[in-house]
Amino acid sequence: MSEVTLHIDGPIATLTLENEAKYNALTTAMLRDLTAHCDTLEASSVRAVVLTGAGPKAFCTGADIIEWAQLSPRDFARHWVRLGHRVFDRIARLPMPMIGALNGHAMGGGLELAACCDLRVMTPRATLALPETGVGIVPGWSGTQRLARQIPPAILKEMALLGRRISSDRALAMGIVNAVAEDARAEAQTMAAEIAARAPEATEVGKTLIAAAYDEDTDAALEALGGWIQAGSPEKAEGVAAFAEKRSPDFGDKT
């Protein structure tokens, strides 16, 4: 059974990390499952995605230490870190908005995963943390990069250098999360329904433009938007028709 499940209900999808016995710690298999589910979502008509973890205690406590601890420094850097980056970048760049339902603690890679979401809801008892220096490593799945665009520098350094946890109240006050709710999943579903009721193409373009403003895949975003405009233009229709008919295209008055 997959340790990451995808459930699609009309315009709303729910991605759930199903590794509750290990507080939803991420394994290589789970990262590959997330990639496969991204393929499914990109080919679907889903308008919003809720990302959550199984059980009441943890959204995700990061990467499975048992899996990465035995890797050589070279393999750790070349495979483990880069794999996580590829998967998390893919999640962040999904065309539809994603809401993180932080049903429990989000630590290390779990917080880095939550940072890939467009909106976040947190339960009152959940905390956010970057505990990596306590086990002799540093954040490796964008904790020093993507999170730096979302969390004030002094707070990010407090988390990464001191290992201190951030409470839900403090996270809300700093704008790291959008809401605190006893039932984070239900609140996230409500947000997803609100998004699904709005114009889907405008929502996708809006997400892309905002992401580009924060240097999230800016080059591809600009070219994708330009391609979107031209793909629906009379020029494209004439150019393709001319190619098929083996003639020169007529793009109208060139003066």
Instruction: Name the nearest CA neighbour of 191 among 98, 127, 254.
Output: 98
Residue 221's H or E segment, with its range, is helix 218-231
> Structural domain tally of the chain?
2
Share above pLDDT 70 across residues of the chain, in percent, rounded to a whole number: 98
**Which residues form the domain of 134?**
4-196
238 tagged catalytic:
no
Q: Is pLDDT above 80 for 76?
A: yes
Cα–Cα distance for residue pair 27/108, rounded to 1 Å = 13
Instruction: Give me the helix-helix angle, 234-244 and 218-231, nearest 10°.
Output: 70
Instruction: Name the nearest CA neighbour of 46 among 79, 72, 13.
Output: 13
**Residue 183 and residue 214 in one domain:** no
* pLDDT tens digits for range 175-189: 999 999 999 999 999
Read off the DSSP letter of residue 199.
-
**Residue 168 and residue 229 in one domain:** no
Q: Which two tokens stand for residue 165?
A: 């946890």
**Residue 56 and residue 31 in one domain:** yes
Instruction: Name the nearest CA neighbour of 20 among 99, 105, 95, 101.
Output: 105
Q: Is pLDDT above 80 for 111?
A: yes
Read off the DSSP letter of residue 63.
B
Name the catalytic one among 18, 42, 132, 235: 132
Give the bridge partners for 58, in sequence order: 105
Considering the domain boundaries, does residue 36 fall inside one? yes
**Residue 122 and residue 182 in one domain:** yes
How far is the CA of 239 from the CAs of 86, 222, 224, 249, in angstroms?
36, 22, 19, 6
Instruction: Indicate the pTM of the whole model.
Output: 0.90
Confidence grade of residue 104 (pLDDT, cut at 50, 70, 90): very high
Name the catalytic one among 112, 187, 204, 216: 112
Considering the domain boundaries, does residue 253 fall inside one? no
**Residue 83 and residue 12 in one domain:** yes
Question: Of 163, 181, 196, which closes a domain?
Answer: 196
204 tagged catalytic:
no
Measured in whole angstroms, how far is the alpha carbon of residue 55 from the centre of its chain? 20
**Residue 71 and residue 167 in one domain:** yes
Q: How many CA atoms lie within 13 A of 2 on its CB side?
A: 15
